[in-house]
Amino acid sequence: MNAKPEPTASDVAAWWGTAVSRMEPNVIELRGHPVQDLIGTTSLTEMIWLMLRGDRPTAGQARLLEAALVAAVDHGPHAPSIAIARMAATCGVGLNNAVATGVNVLGDNHGGAGEQCLALLDDICGRAAVTGSVESAAAEVLAAFRAHTPYVPGFGHRFHQRDPRRDPLLSLVDRAVADGVVAGRHLAAALAVEQSLRTRDGRSVPMNIDGATAVIYGELGFPPPLARGLFVLSRSVGILAHAWEETQQGRRNKGPIPPGILPAYLSQ
Amino acid sequence: MNAKPEPTASDVAAWWGTAVSRMEPNVIELRGHPVQDLIGTTSLTEMIWLMLRGDRPTAGQARLLEAALVAAVDHGPHAPSIAIARMAATCGVGLNNAVATGVNVLGDNHGGAGEQCLALLDDICGRAAVTGSVESAAAEVLAAFRAHTPYVPGFGHRFHQRDPRRDPLLSLVDRAVADGVVAGRHLAAALAVEQSLRTRDGRSVPMNIDGATAVIYGELGFPPPLARGLFVLSRSVGILAHAWEETQQGRRNKGPIPPGILPAYLSQ
Amino acid sequence: MNAKPEPTASDVAAWWGTAVSRMEPNVIELRGHPVQDLIGTTSLTEMIWLMLRGDRPTAGQARLLEAALVAAVDHGPHAPSIAIARMAATCGVGLNNAVATGVNVLGDNHGGAGEQCLALLDDICGRAAVTGSVESAAAEVLAAFRAHTPYVPGFGHRFHQRDPRRDPLLSLVDRAVADGVVAGRHLAAALAVEQSLRTRDGRSVPMNIDGATAVIYGELGFPPPLARGLFVLSRSVGILAHAWEETQQGRRNKGPIPPGILPAYLSQ
Amino acid sequence: MNAKPEPTASDVAAWWGTAVSRMEPNVIELRGHPVQDLIGTTSLTEMIWLMLRGDRPTAGQARLLEAALVAAVDHGPHAPSIAIARMAATCGVGLNNAVATGVNVLGDNHGGAGEQCLALLDDICGRAAVTGSVESAAAEVLAAFRAHTPYVPGFGHRFHQRDPRRDPLLSLVDRAVADGVVAGRHLAAALAVEQSLRTRDGRSVPMNIDGATAVIYGELGFPPPLARGLFVLSRSVGILAHAWEETQQGRRNKGPIPPGILPAYLSQ
């Protein structure tokens, strides 16, 4: 370390280098656009696209992205993220802390299925591009996947036999394919997976919200980690709404169950 | 506690009672709307309003809310929330954790100015409704406020002499007043405050992003804590964009300054 | 900003200046002590004192601090911090994230009572030092306090009529006073408060864990915010133990109540 | 779901069943011990063991665990966890939030090396138990490991050529082996790894803090995830000390670098 020259202020500036935004006194540019040109002309959904990717979506792309973001905002207090945010809101922390507490648990099991599903669909699309058959690509990928785990991320739901968000999302994708907005490859991959999945007793295992949004994110060209990132933005809306409602209900230090029920004591 | 009857399952259900959403197998209703009716018909901004308030915004209301949300998405890595999320993203946690880590610090000093400013504007509006003079109401409230602190939340900026987000946001409010979308009372209150503020050496102290968005949230009828809540949703977009960019830059365990500079050691 | 000289590397080093620790290649000093001199010679509790204050505790001081830290490690899954950490642990995040999620909610209502109680005791001690009467100081401070809120932090418990942690903690303080380890002023202040508190129907309102630990932290000279800080360290132990147990129980995405009970839907 | 009987209060109690603690009015039992029997008789380190494992450590076991916990409390503001907590503390959030923000980033890259190293050592110990040769077991495991990544967790340090915490920790383990407190198998495994590691230019790659503490946690019988869990408890001490010092330095909204240096703007 001795031989290295002492870093300068410009090394320090470079350490925090970013293409996302440029700040100077009286100047705010986001992805190269002065902020004053964006305010009033750009929707929140277009802004999300711009900030993550650096370019602007077409109207058709923005419409698909918006539908996916709207669809996943909430799934009620049975979802740990929602319950946790509500409990946090009663503990005397800021609303920002309550939201962060909920967002923090959107992990591999809770908010990660979209990311995992998109990786799976990307894999199928990649193979199908080579072999020409999405069905055989889906079969290959599924076989490899199911060797490790009984779950296929994005398909089936422990609560809904048929997730009511599947059909409206997929029909928007259908229309976007028809309109030439997207290519339809991820949709085909997901339908091939859905086609081949059956429970042991023969019931179908339809796509769930994570699968249907993964189709959209994949069609739009988002990489898998951003499927989780976008879900985080979407679910933050529901988390905030629930945390705020809880605040207004006025409990302090809300536990998970009514005070009159004591957790069972398990002998070790 | 002995005399109380054992809680039943319906007490447990009531403990988690909510008007935000209703979940049953194959049913998802958000604020009374089946989710399938919202997908593809509702913008993300309208969804935020619906989830927080239970009704739907008019087009004019949604336009104002959207502008406020777009304006505050990012202020670069000097903002602790952004820097923290970028560092978090290099530590081997999920993107959800990186976002949560950034959102968590949008506290009273960093994300709370909008909430504080809105409380101040509400106070001025309330007094002006009684006395008829927004100028004297502003003077009263400011005097009380400045007895405690030199900062007036929502006015002045340590980095910008004139925040470039002020003018486009206020001109949207102006137009909304002209169109009868909002009443203009919070705008008048904020302008009265701005008019009366001067630095010691006589320079003006213009409204900043927190002030201009507080005007919008106030005009739209949001209570002060939701000024922070809405800022959280907005800034989450920038936090995610920066965390994702950092992930792609590939550092591991990024510290705040280049490794070649050692923090100064202070004698106790 | 133009006239200011460009910051140098040493300004950057100063920005992160600290008296807590000194790091150089092959050197780690904590509060001036080479880490190798601390390992094997210093207890974890002594380390906590050293890191927070810069000096080392006497054996008697360490004993009191340790008792307070041990007493507050856990209060079961009804405590939101514990329930939240357990739920987090099922969501596919790291154990660090699960612990952080729980710690994050130790806010003003949940983990702040010790801090608030210590501030109250400090206030009483300060007044009693002037007037000579701890009883009248306690009466004054309580009257001011209860004008705002029915709760007196550190006294009474919604679950225990008599908190089982009170007596053993206070008897350790008693002994430490007898041994000249601490002065006994915070103990006297807290007992004066306890003496004067009665519920409406005449029952006593004994000190709870937050009150008894506030006595100890006050006797040892910790400022009020560190009463919360020390509680955070203590409760982290229970949070980790519960998160780990939950991990081993194997649930995924644990909600707050069994899946068979649906949260009640409240009309708006 | 229709056929299932409605859950009862005892199902709800079972949902939160735990062997860690039992709470009833006026009763707190931790791992079967009334809390009043633990206060004043049990050290914080013994309490950590008890809460995580259900039994009490011997004096020799507690000594080793304590040394590991003490050794890792802090590594200065270059560590993201420390820098983040310091920045958080300036944003107007509680000290609990500042600590949680720091703890949250002790992820796979930052706080996970101990866990990964312990898994590696467990693997070597398991193979050596079969073949009788720790050297060949180490060689096998290392070969498999290094096929994926150039890093071997627990060995080497980007800042220290020789981590000053290695020798005092390992000499405590040596002594514990001599005293029959632990068996020495993880120590042997780690030394075998260390022996076989060399940088490309021939320098040794000595064990670092994560390696030396993984040896201790392994000798004591902790499973790998608790290596991270215990590190979290240890590092929380340094995180709190730094957050508290920063609070007292009085900055508001501290960014990562002095305000006079602007992050570099990268063209996309």
Q: Strands of D27-30's sheet, edge to edge?
A: D21-24, D27-30, D33-34
Contact: D80, B8; criterion CB under 8 Å:
no
Cβ–Cβ contact A107 with B under 8 A? yes
**Which residue shows structure tokens 């809390």?**
D35
Residue B244 makes CB contacts below 8 A (sequence gap 6+) with A52, A225, A226, A229, B89, B95
Which helix (H) or strand (E) element contains residue B234? Answer: helix B224-249
Q: For residues C140 and C127, what is the distance between their CA atoms, to the nearest angstrom?
A: 9
**Minimal CA separation from D70 to chain A, in Å:** 28
Which tens digit of pLDDT belongs to each residue from D76-118?
999 999 999 999 999 999 999 999 999 999 999 999 999 999 9
Angle at A63 between CA A60 and CA A68, to 5 degrees: 135
Q: Chains with 3 or more CB pairs closer than 8 angstroms to D?
A: A, B, C
Which band of pLDDT confidence, cut at 50, 70 and 90, is reported for residue A3?
low
The neighbouring-strand residues paired with C207 are C155
Looking at A160-203, list the stretches that DSSP marks H as alpha helix, in order from N- to C-terminal side: 166-178, 185-196
Interfacial A residues in 141-180 facing B (CB < 8 Å): 159-165, 167-169, 172
Secondary structure (3-state) at B18: strand
Candidate from B1, B9, B107 with C-beta closest to D92: B107
pLDDT at B207: 96
Cβ–Cβ contact B7 with A under 8 A? yes
Q: For residues A166 and A117, what is the distance between their CA atoms, to the nearest angstrom?
A: 14
Which tens digit of pLDDT belongs to each residue from A146-204?
888 878 999 988 888 889 999 999 999 999 999 999 999 999 999 999 999 977 788 88
Q: What is the mean pLDDT of chain A?
A: 95
CB D202 within 8 A of CB D159: no
Per the structure block, which two tokens stand in for D130?
């079969």
Which helix (H) or strand (E) element contains residue C21? Answer: strand C21-24
pLDDT at C3: 57
Which helix (H) or strand (E) element contains residue A254? Answer: none
Q: What is the mean pLDDT of residues C52-76?
A: 98
**Residue in chain C nearest B25 by alpha carbon:** C262
β-pairing verdict for C33-34 and C27-30: antiparallel
pLDDT at C203 over 80: yes
**What Rg value do the Cα atoms of chain C yield, rounded?**
22
Contact: D32, A93; criterion CB under 8 Å:
no
pLDDT at A34: 98
Cβ–Cβ contact A183 with B under 8 A? no
pLDDT at D157: 83
Cβ–Cβ contact A100 with B under 8 A? yes
Contact: C257, B16; criterion CB under 8 Å:
yes
pLDDT at D3: 57
Candidate from C18, C94, C268 with C-beta closest to B266: C18
Q: Among A264-268, C146-150, D66-70, name the most confident range.
A: D66-70
Which band of pLDDT confidence, cut at 50, 70 and 90, is reported for residue B1?
very low
Q: For residues D229 and C244, what is the distance between their CA atoms, to the nearest angstrom?
A: 8
Cβ–Cβ contact A198 with B under 8 A? no
Residue A60 makes CB contacts below 8 A (sequence gap 6+) with A176, A179, A181, A182
pLDDT at B167 over 90: yes
Q: For residues B173 and B175, what is the distance between their CA atoms, to the nearest angstrom?
A: 5
What is the rounded end-to-end Cα distance, in angstroms, of chain A?
A: 53
pLDDT at B2 over 80: no
Q: For residues A139 and A126, what is the distance between their CA atoms, to the nearest angstrom?
A: 13
In the Cβ-directed half-sphere of D142, how many Cα atoms lie within 13 Å? 20
pLDDT at B149: 81
* Separation in Å, CA B247 to CA A153, B94, B241, B244, C94: 23, 10, 10, 5, 18
Residues of D in contact with B113 (CB under 8 A): none
Q: What is the mean pLDDT of residues C257-263?
A: 94
Contact: A263, C84; criterion CB under 8 Å:
no
Say what percent of chain D tops pLDDT 70: 98
Does ipTM exceed 0.90? Answer: yes
Q: How many CB atoms lie within 10 A of CB D107?
A: 25
Phi-psi region of D29 (alpha: psi -120 to 50; beta: other; left: phi over 0): beta
Q: For residues C31 and C45, what is the distance between their CA atoms, to the nearest angstrom?
A: 15
pLDDT at B203: 86
Cβ–Cβ contact C25 with A under 8 A? yes
Per-residue burial over C53-92, b if 16 or more Cβ lie within 10 Å, else e, is beeebeebbbbbbbbbbbbbbbbbbbbbbbbbbbbbbbbb
Which tens digit of pLDDT belongs to each residue from D202-228?
888 999 999 999 999 999 999 999 999
Q: For residues D213 and D111, what is the distance between their CA atoms, to the nearest angstrom?
A: 12
β-pairing verdict for D33-34 and D27-30: antiparallel
pLDDT at A148: 84
Residues of A in contact with B2 (CB under 8 A): none
Please tell me what DSSP assigns to residue A79.
Answer: S
Residues of B in contact with A69 (CB under 8 A): 44, 47
Which band of pLDDT confidence, cut at 50, 70 and 90, is reported for residue D148?
confident
**Residue in chain A nearest D25 by alpha carbon:** A262
Which tens digit of pLDDT belongs to each residue from A30-73?
999 999 999 999 999 999 999 999 999 999 999 999 999 999 99
Which band of pLDDT confidence, cut at 50, 70 and 90, is reported for residue D1?
very low
* Separation in Å, CA C148 to CA A31, B148, C144, C145: 49, 20, 7, 6
Chains A, C: CB pairs < 8 Å: 142
- Identify which of D236, D229, D213 has the alpha carbon closest to the alpha carbon of residue D118: D213
Which tens digit of pLDDT belongs to each residue from B200-256?
778 889 999 999 999 999 999 999 999 999 999 999 999 999 999 999 999 999 999
pLDDT at D2 over 70: no
Which band of pLDDT confidence, cut at 50, 70 and 90, is reported for residue A1?
very low
Q: What is the mean pLDDT of residues D146-155?
A: 87
**Which residue shows structure tokens 């959904």?**
A45
pLDDT at B15: 97
Per the structure block, which two tokens stand in for D51?
């809460």
pLDDT at D268 over 80: no
Contact: A81, C90; criterion CB under 8 Å:
no
Contact: A105, C83; criterion CB under 8 Å:
no
pLDDT at D45 over 70: yes
Secondary structure (3-state) at C174: helix
Which band of pLDDT confidence, cut at 50, 70 and 90, is reported for residue A84?
very high
Q: For residues A97 and A94, what is the distance between their CA atoms, to the nearest angstrom?
A: 5
Which tens digit of pLDDT belongs to each residue from C140-190?
999 988 888 878 999 988 888 889 999 999 999 999 999 999 999 999 999
Q: What is the mean pLDDT of residues A120-144?
A: 95
